[in-house]
Amino acid sequence: MQIWIDADACPRVIKEMVFRAAERLKVPVCLVANNDLSKSHSAWVTSVRVKNGFDVADDYIAEHAQGCDLVITADIPLAARIVEKGGVALDPRGELYTEDNVGERLSMRNMMQELRADGLLLGGPGQFSLTDRQRFASSMDRLLTKMLRR
């Protein structure tokens, strides 16, 4: 089992939570981004810098993640790819992507993207809150406990 983080847009506080869990549980973590990443002081954390380009980090994660891995991402198309191959994907706000909800979330994302492109909708997701952090921590702990028991 390994934890993958789609690191370009992942909030720092979420990365730090994952690093602490990785150290505590002895689970490897790999951050993937097309930007420079700050170094972690843990032997359990590695990083991969991919070329700049649309979805290059997502493609790397989708190619390398296994069915027994956890992927942390806010990118719904990447989450759909992970769920399709039997993996587990978790949003940084603590929402688990499943076979039951990822298709609906992808459709909603596409509709919102069209509305933004047409100028009918402005903005994106709300500001990252303390509630989001707490929900993520709780979801991640439950998932890791369940996944490590397998």
Q: In the chain, where are the structural domains located?
A: 3-99+128-149
Per-residue pLDDT of 98-127, as tens digits, reads 988 877 877 776 776 777 677 776 766 678
Phi/psi for 79 (5° steps) reads -55, -40
Stated pTM of the model: 0.87
User: Phi/psi zone of residue 118: left (φ > 0), alpha (ψ -120 to 50 degrees), beta?
Assistant: alpha
May I ask the CATH class of domain 3-99+128-149?
Answer: alpha beta
Per-residue pLDDT of 22-75, as tens digits, reads 999 999 999 999 988 777 778 999 999 999 998 999 999 999 999 999 999 999
* CA distance linking residue 27 with residue 19, whole number of Å: 9
Q: Are 3 and 72 in contact (CB under 8 A)?
A: yes
